[in-house]
Structures are given as C-alpha cells and as structure tokens.
Chains A and B, each alone.
Chain A
Amino acid sequence: MADAHHIQSNDPNAGAEQRKAIWKTFWILLILTALEFLIAFTVAHGTLKVTIFIVMTIVKAFYIVGEFMHLKHETKGLIWSILIPIVFVAWLILALLLEGNAVFEAIFG
C-alpha cells in the first residue's frame, strides 16, 4: 500500500487514472442530483417517488464513500468494519417509523 501511494512527483502522468475516476464520480453525482431535482417536480407525491429518492440517495452515498472516501479500494476487513455497524441504523429506522405510525393511529386514526 505504501509503495502504491508514494508515486514519484517527477512522473507527469502519475495519478492521472485516479483523477479521471474522481471527475467521473463528480459527473455521476451531479447528474443524479439534477435527476432528483427533475423528479421532485414531475413525479406525483407517493410511495414511488419516495422509493426513487431513497434508491438514488443510496447510489450517491455509494459513490461518495466508495470513491471519494476511497473505501472501495481498502481491505475487506476495513470495509466490513465500517458497513456492519450501519445495520443498527436500519433497525433504528424500522423501529421509529413503526412507532411513529402507531402514534399517528392512536391520535388521528
């Protein structure tokens, strides 16, 4: 890892591939955000719209964490150490949204 990261600066082409990947990621993020903007005003409010937004957000998160934060290119151990704790967030979402729905039913249902 140390050798791969310490490319000599006198090589003009050093890191060119990496810079290409960075700009590619930038365009993907920009296009996805523009699409989100478009969908916000063209698709009717409802489950479909929310699902599209959540999927697009996760795709954007994948590119930011994977490319910008370089996690995609780290060791498997590091990748799993970061991703597995996120399971707790999934549980939190499930628990609190169900609870919120129950509160709504109790008051307004």
Chain B
Amino acid sequence: MASNVTTPGAVEPKFWMGGIEPMKASYGKLMMWFFLISDTFTFSALLVAYGYQRFSFPAYSGEVADFVNSNLYWPIPEKVYAAVPFLHGVYLPLVFVGIMTFILIASSVTMVLAVEAGHRKDRATVEKYMLWTILGGFTFLGCQAWEWAHFIHGTDNGTLMTIMENGKMVEKTIFGANLTVNEYGPAAFADFFFFITGFHGTHVFSGVILNILIFFRVATGLYDKRGSYEMVEKVGLYWHFVDLVWVFVFTFFYLV
C-alpha cells in the first residue's frame, strides 16, 4: 500500500530498489498467487494422469443406451453419476453434480462480493457475504460426502465381473467401490475418483476453515483497526481457485 512506502533519503526510488511494489500487489497477495501456481501444477498432474490412464485403456465404443458396467473398458461418466439424494432408483444423469457446480459458482460470487465490500470497508456486508460463502462451502462438502457414500455403497444390483482374487480369476458380483475393485469399471477409475475429488474436497474444506477464521477476524473488527480488508481478498483468491479447479474436474471427470 502506498501509505507504507518509504522513500530512503534523497535517493530517487527505482522500480526494483525495494520499498515499492513492482507488480502493484502486496507481498502476501503475490505469495498467494505463487502458491496457487504450485497448486495448479498438483491438480494438473492429477488430471493429466487421469487422461493418461484413460488414453491407455479401451474406451466404450457401443451406443450410450446399451452401456453396461464392465472392467474391460472405461465407463461413461453420465452412466456412473446418475443418482440424486431422496430419489432412489431414478435415473438422473449428472443432475447432482450440476447442482454441486452451481453451489460452488454461487459461493464464488458471494466471496467476490465480500471482497468488493471489503474495498469499501463495509464490515456488515463483508460479514454477510462471508457467511453465505461459508454456508456454500459446507453445502458443497455435504453434497460431496453424499456422493462419496453413494459411490462407495454402489447400486442395488451391482455388476458381475471377472476379477483377480488371490492369484486366480474369479467371477463375482461387485457392489460399490474401493481402491482395488469397483462395479463401475477398471480399478483405476474409482482410484482417480477418490484421489481427484478427494484432493479437491480437502481444498474446499481448508478454504471453509480459512473463511471462518477470516470471518471471525472481520467480525471482531481487526481489519477496521488495521485499515485494510486485504486478508479477505487473499482468502478470496484461494476460494476462487478452488472453484476454478472444480470447473476443470467437472469437465474432465464428469463430462468428457
């Protein structure tokens, strides 16, 4: 911030001499950006590894309507994610994940509105929108918990599959999913589901915790005393990044 800039003596300040912000962003904000870059690489690695696995495995080639689960080809996501809470047995492909996407986008909007109110030092509005963001985060986590439970528990009928067990090929009906076997497709499919959505869910969870912490500090007037609501902006960057990652997970895990 300009108020913190000190011009050393009579020396004329130069761009990289220190004391000024060459990128017009504070140290903390800049470091949040660079942390997010490193996190981008982690998520990219996970998603690209998923792509690698998918490219090295046969794809389902028949009609979508005739699709049945098998561990011999990669499943069609819309056939796997077709359940919605309280509507047991109703085939609603991608509806629930669509709702989750909407919740996350909406919570991103309330976050950026909190940041905007922070620029005006409007404490009540910052509090209001941060609470909405926290609520959105918890709702998303609740949805994800249900989705995981459903994925692990599986469908009513399961899938008859030939799998390797104790060194022998055996035919058996598989229900739900774990890290070694699942009823939807090859083992790697469920593994990537757990790792990618799990890693993203962990980020949402830490984002909610950070939001609660910052909300508490807003509510107790710390940023009014400090004269700047920049911490809201920094936690906002993190929250939008979590939303951004979900946009990519939604496309590459649920749509393609």
Q: Footprint of B on A, CB under 8 Å?
A: 1-3, 5-9, 14-15, 18-19, 22-23, 25-26, 29-30, 33, 36-37, 40-41, 45, 49-50, 53-54, 56-57, 60-61, 64-65, 67-69, 74-75, 77-78, 81-82, 85-86, 88-89, 92-93, 96-97, 99-101, 103-104, 107-108
Q: B113 contacts A74, CB within 8 Å? A: no
Q: Verify if B237 is at the interface (C-beta below 8 Å from A).
A: yes
- Tell whether, in the assembled complex, residue A61 and residue B120 are in contact, meaning their CB atoms are under 8 Å apart: no
Given A22-B109, A36-B255, A101-B55: A61 and B23 interface contact (C-beta under 8 Å) = no
CB distance from A72 to the nearest CB of B (A): 13
Known: A9-B122, A37-B94, A69-B241. A96 touches B52 (CB 8 A): yes
Q: State which of B40, B105, B109 has its C-beta within 8 Å of the C-beta of A89.
A: B40
| 19 A-B residue pairs with CB within 8 Å | A1-B2, A15-B117, A22-B109, A25-B109, A30-B102, A36-B250, A36-B255, A45-B76, A53-B251, A68-B111, A68-B112, A74-B23, A81-B33, A85-B41, A92-B44, A97-B48, A97-B55, A103-B56, A104-B56
The dominant DSSP class at the B interface is helix
What's the least CB distance linking A56 to chain B, in Å? 8
Query: Would you call A97 and B51 a contact (CB within 8 A)?
Result: yes
CB of B219 within 8 Å of the partner chain:
no
Expressed in whole angstroms, the minimum distance between the Cβ of B79 and any Cβ of chain A is 12
Query: Once bound together, how far apart are the Cα atoms of A7 and B120, in whole Å?
Result: 6
Quick one: which of B221-245 are within 8 Å of A by CB?
Answer: 236-237, 240-241, 243-244
Does residue B157 face the partner (Cβ distance < 8 Å to A)?
no
Report chain B residues within 8 Å CB of A22: 109, 112-113, 116
Indicate if the CB atoms of B108 and A68 lie closer than 8 Å. yes
Provide the residues of chain A in CB contact with B120, threshold 8 Å: 7-9, 14-15
A108 to B186, CA, bound (A): 15
User: A53 and B256: CB pair below 8 A?
Assistant: yes
B102 touches A33 (CB 8 A): yes
Task: Give B contacts to A, CB under 8 Å.
Answer: 1-3, 22-25, 30, 33-34, 37, 40-41, 44-45, 48-49, 51-58, 64, 76, 78, 93-94, 98, 101-102, 105-106, 108-109, 111-113, 116-117, 119-122, 236-237, 240-241, 243-244, 247-248, 250-251, 255-256
Min CB–CB distance B69 → chain A (angstroms): 17
Are the C-beta atoms of A37 and B98 separated by less than 8 Å? Answer: yes
User: Which chain B residue lies CB-closest to A1?
Assistant: B24
Q: Please, how many angstroms separate the alpha-carbon atoms of A78 and B49 in the complex? A: 29
Chain A residue contacts of B94, Cβ below 8 A: 37, 40
Task: Name the A residues within 8 Å of B112 (CB-CB).
Answer: 22, 67-68
Inter-chain contact A15/B105, CB cutoff 8 Å? no
